[in-house]
C-alpha cells in the first residue's frame, strides 16, 4: 500500500468514526427534544431525583447542532476519500478551515481583549442578578437552572446571597434564601448567613474554575487544532493526488 492508499484509508477510518459519533450525538439530541415527555416521566420515577434534573432537556439543541456538524464533516471526509471525489474533499477542507479560523479568532480575541472580556462577563453577571431578583422563585425554568448551578458549583447567587433579596422566592418564603446558600442549615435566613461562613458567589467560582483549568483547556484546544491541521493537510494531499492521477 503506497502513501496515497494509506492516507486514503486513514482519512476514511478517521472520518467514519467522526460520522458515527456525530450520528449518535444527533440521535440523542433529537430524542431528547422529540420524546421529552417520556424522559420527564422516567426522571420522575427515579427515587429522590432532584427536580432540576429535568434541565438536561435544554442541551438537546446543542447536541443536535454539534451532531449535525460532525455528521456532515464525517460524510464528506469518508465519501471524499473512498470515492476520490475532489468536490467532497474540497468541501471537507473548507468546513474544517472555517471552524479552525473561528477557533483561532476566538482565541485571539480572548487573549488580546481579556480585560474587555472580563468586563463583559461582569456585565453579564450584573444582568443575571437582575434576572434573579425578577424571576427566581416565579419562573420554574430559571429557578431550576439556578438551583442546579448552585448545587453543582457549591455557590450562592452571582456574587453572594444578597442577590436573592427582594426576589419572588425571598418574599414568598419569609425572607429566606435558597437552600444551596446554607448547606445543612435550616432555616436559611440572614441570621444563619451572618453566623456561618458565607458560600462564595457563582461568578467567583466560575472564574476560579477557568483559571484552575487553563492549562488543560489550552492543551485540549491545541490538540483539536493539531487534528484539524492534519485533516486539512491530508485532504489537500488527496485532492492534489487525485488531480495528478486524472492528468
State whether 53 and 141 are in the same domain: no
CA separation for the pair 54, 62 (Å, rounded):
16
Residue 126 lies in a domain: no
Does residue 37 register a pLDDT over 90? no
Shortest CA distance to 145 belongs to which of 174, 180, 119, 188? 180
pLDDT digits (tens, 9 = 90+) for 173-209: 888 999 888 887 778 888 888 887 778 888 888 888 8
CA distance 193 to 195: 6
Q: In terms of domains, do 171 and 240 share one?
A: no
- Nearest alpha carbon to residue 142 among 152, 132, 150, 133: 132
In terms of domains, do 158 and 109 share one?
A: no
Residues 104 and 141 in one domain: no
Q: Please check whether residue 15 lies inside any domain of the structure.
A: yes
Domain count, the chain: 2
**Does residue 183 sit within a domain?**
yes
Does the residue 224 lie in any domain?
no
Per residue in 216-240, pLDDT (tens digit) is 878 888 888 888 898 899 888 888 8
Mean residue pLDDT across the chain: 81
Q: Is 95 found in the same domain as 56?
A: yes
Same domain membership, residue 239 and residue 149: no
What is the arithmetic mean of pLDDT over 53-65?
67
Mean pLDDT, residues 48-64: 60
Judge if 53 and 14 occupy the same domain.
Answer: yes
Q: What is the pLDDT of residue 243?
A: 65
**162 and 200: one domain?**
yes
The pLDDT of residue 82 is above 80: yes
Residue 104 in this model has a pLDDT that exceeds 70: yes
Indicate whether 227 belongs to any domain: no
Clarify whether residues 200 and 240 are in a common domain: no
Looking at the predicted structure, is the pLDDT value of residue 159 above 70?
A: yes
Reply yes or no on whether the pLDDT at 39 is more than 70: no
Does the residue 222 lie in any domain? no
On whether both 106 and 141 belong to a single domain, the answer is no
In this predicted structure, what is the pLDDT of residue 92? Answer: 92
Indicate the Cα dihedral angle 165, 162, 119, 65, nearest 10°: -70
- 83-88: list long-range contacts, CB under 8 Å, 24+ apart: 84/8, 84/238, 84/242, 84/245, 86/239, 86/242, 86/243
Please check the confidence at residue 17 and state whether its pLDDT lies above 50: yes
Given a cut of 90, whether residue 94 has pLDDT beyond it is yes
Give the domain CATH number at 197.
1.10.1450
Shared domain check, 81 and 140: no
Residue 218 domain-assigned? no
Evaluate whether residue 176 is within a structural domain.
Answer: yes
Q: Which domain holds residue 72?
A: 3-113+235-246
User: Do 145 and 67 belong to one domain?
Assistant: no
Amino acid at each position: 500500500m503506497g502513501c496515497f492508499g494509506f492516507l486514503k484509508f486513514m482519512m476514511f477510518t478517521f472520518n467514519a468514526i467522526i460520522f458515527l459519533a456525530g450520528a449518535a450525538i444527533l440521535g440523542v439530541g433529537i430524542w431528547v427534544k422529540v420524546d421529552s415527555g417520556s424522559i420527564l416521566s422516567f426522571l420522575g420515577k427515579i427515587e429522590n431525583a432532584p427536580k432540576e434534573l429535568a434541565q438536561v432537556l435544554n442541551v438537546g439543541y446543542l447536541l443536535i447542532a454539534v451532531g449535525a456538524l460532525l455528521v456532515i464533516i464525517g460524510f464528506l471526509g469518508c465519501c471524499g476519500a473512498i470515492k476520490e471525489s475532489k468536490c467532497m474533499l474540497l468541501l471537507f477542507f473548507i468546513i474544517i478551515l472555517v471552524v479552525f479560523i473561528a477557533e483561532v479568532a476566538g482565541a485571539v480575541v480572548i487573549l488580546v481583549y481579556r480585560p474587555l472580556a472580563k468586563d463583559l462577563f461582569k456585565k453579564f453577571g450584573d444582568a443575571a442578578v437582575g434576572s434573579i431578583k425578577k424571576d427566581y422563585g416565579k419562573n420554574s425554568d430559571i429557578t431550576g437552572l439556578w438551583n442546579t448551578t448552585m448545587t453543582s458549583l457549591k455557590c450562592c447567587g452571582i456574587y453572594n446571597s444578597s442577590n436573592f433579596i427582594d426576589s419572588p422566592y425571598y418574599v414568598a418564603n419569609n425572607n429566606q434564601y435558597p437552600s444551596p446558600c446554607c448547606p445543612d442549615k435550616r432555616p436559611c435566613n440572614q441570621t444563619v448567613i451572618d453566623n456561618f461562613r458565607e458560600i462564595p458567589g457563582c461568578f467567583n467560582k466560575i472564574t476560579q474554575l477557568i483559571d484552575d483549568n487553563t492549562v488543560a483547556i489550552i492543551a485540549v484546544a491545541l490538540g483539536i487544532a493539531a487534528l484539524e491541521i492534519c485533516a486539512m493537510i491530508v485532504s489537500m494531499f488527496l485532492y492534489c493526488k487525485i488531480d495528478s492521477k486524472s492528468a
